[in-house]
Amino acid sequence: MIQLELSEQHQKLYENVRLLAEHMMRPYSRKYDREEHTYPQEMDEVVKLLEAGRSGGSGDARQEHPADETVNGGNMGAVIGLQGLAWGDLGLFLGMRTNGLGNAAINAVGTAEQREKYGKSYAAMCITEPSTGSDSANISTTAVRDGDEWVLNGEKIYVTGGEFSDTLVVWATLDKSLGKAAIKSFIVEKGTPGCEVTRLEHKMGIRASDTAAISFVDCRIPMENLLGSAEIAADAAGRKKAFGGVMQTFDNTRPPVAAMALGIGRAALDLARELLAEEGVELDYREKPDNVGAIKAELYKMEAEWEGARLLTLKAAWMADNSQPNSVEASMCKAKAGRMGNEVALRCVELCQSLGYSEQHLLEKFARDSKIVDIFEGTQQIQQLIVARGVLGKSSSELK
C-alpha cells in the first residue's frame, strides 16, 4: 500500500536540511544573485555536510528489496532533501558541486562500473540544442563509432552546471535518418579534447548556477562511456522501447525538479505569510473559507495548491522506490509543481506589494528563480502531452 506520510528519518532529514539552508545558504542568496557566474565557494561546506549525512543527490531508483515490501527510500529522501535545499536558494543549490541532473541518468541506466566511476562526480545533462528544445527526438549532435571510441560532434546549450561540472551526459544520435530510435546518451569527462565550454548565459533567475553552451568537435570518448546499448532495433516496436529507455532518465529527474518547485513555493509562502502577519493577516485553519477576506482566501488557495503538488511528487518518488513505472506520475508532479511554484511566487509578490517587488526581501528573487522549474526537464506543455498520452493510451504519433 502506498505510504506518503514522512517517516521519522525523512522528517529529521527535512528539518536538518532546512536548518542548513537557512543558516548556510540564505545569507549568501543576494550576494551570488548579483555576482552571476561566480562560483559560490561557501557552498563547498554545505556539500561536505550533505555528503556526510547522505542527504543530497537524486536517488537511485534501482533499489533492491523484497517484492512484498513497501519502501520509502532513496528517491523519497531525494525529493524531501531537495525541497529543503530549494527553500534555501535554488540557484545556490544548482551551483553546488554535488550531484547534478546527469547523475540521475548514470544512476538510472548506467552499468555498475559506470556508477562506480562517475557516480560521485558532478554530472551535468546536455540535451538542448540551438534548434532542439522540448522535442528531444530532434537531436542533431552525432556520435560515430571509430574503432574502440565514439566521436561526438555538435553543440549543446542551456546546460545547467556546464561550467563547474566534472562530467557531462550528452544526448547524441547514431543515425539522424532513424529519428528518436538512434538517440543514445554518452558520458564525457570535462577536459576531453574537442569538448569546450563556449559561452555562459546571463539569466533572469538562478544566477548562482552556471548555465553554459558547450561544443563538441571530433570529441573522442571510450566505447564503454555509452549509457545503455549501442544496438538500434530493426523494428518499430524495438525502436520505441529503446527510446523509452533513454527517456526513462526523465522519470528519475522530474520528481526532483518538482521538489525544487515545492521548495521555492514554500519559501515564497513562508516569507509572504511572515510579512503579512506583521500587518495583522494571519491564517487560522479553523476559519471557514467563505468567511475570510480576499488576501486570506488567496493564501488558503495557494496552500492547497502547494499541498496537492507535494502529494503528487511524493507519489512519483514512492513509485520509483518501489520499482513501479512512474512516467505519467513523474510528468504529473512536474507539471503541477512547476506551474504552482511559479504562480505562487508571483502571487506572493503581488500580495506583499512594494515589499514583494523590492530587493529589501527575497520574494522578488524567488519569483525570478521560480520560472525555470516550469521550463527545464520538459515544459508545462510537454508534461501535459505526456500525461494525456498515458491517460488516453495514445502513442506519440497518435497524439502530438
C-alpha cell at 113: 562500473
Q: What is the mean pLDDT of residues 121-133?
A: 89
Cβ neighbours of residue 245 closer than 8 Å, sequence gap 6 or more: 109, 228
- Model confidence at 233, pLDDT cuts 50, 70, 90, reads low
- Model confidence at 75, pLDDT cuts 50, 70, 90, reads confident
Residues 77-88 have pLDDT tens digits of 999 999 999 999
- The rounded distance, in Å, linking the Cα atoms of 107 and 358 is 42
pLDDT for 238: 55
Contact 264, 88 (CB under 8 A): no
- Specify the range with the lowest mean pLDDT, choosing from 41-45, 223-227, 281-285: 281-285
Whether 377 is catalytic: yes
Q: What are phi and psi of 36, to 5 degrees?
A: -60, 140
Cβ neighbours of residue 329 closer than 8 Å, sequence gap 6 or more: 312, 315, 316, 319
Structural domains of the chain sorted by starting position, each given as residue range(s) with its CATH number in brackets: 8-105 (1.10.540), 122-232 (2.40.110.10), 242-392 (1.20.140.10)
Q: What are phi and psi of 222, to 5 degrees?
A: -65, 150
Using DSSP, state whether 235 is helix, strand or coil: coil
> What percentage of the chain reaches a pLDDT higher than 90?
67
Q: What is the mean pLDDT of residues 361-369?
A: 98
Q: Which residue from 80, 81, 87, 75 is spatially nearest to 47, judged by alpha carbons?
A: 81
- Model confidence at 237, pLDDT cuts 50, 70, 90, reads low
Please tell me which residue in 129, 163, 364, 377 is annotated as part of the active site. Answer: 377
pLDDT above 90 for 245: no
Residues 12-56 have pLDDT tens digits of 999 999 999 999 999 999 999 999 989 999 999 999 998 887 644
- Model confidence at 288, pLDDT cuts 50, 70, 90, reads confident
Q: What is the mean pLDDT of residues 63-70?
A: 54
- The rounded distance, in Å, linking the Cα atoms of 43 and 40 is 6
What dihedral angle (degrees, nearest 10) is formed by the CA atoms of 269, 100, 45, 321?
Answer: 70
pLDDT for 243: 54
- The rounded distance, in Å, linking the Cα atoms of 97 and 192 is 19
Cβ neighbours of residue 319 closer than 8 Å, sequence gap 6 or more: 325, 326, 329
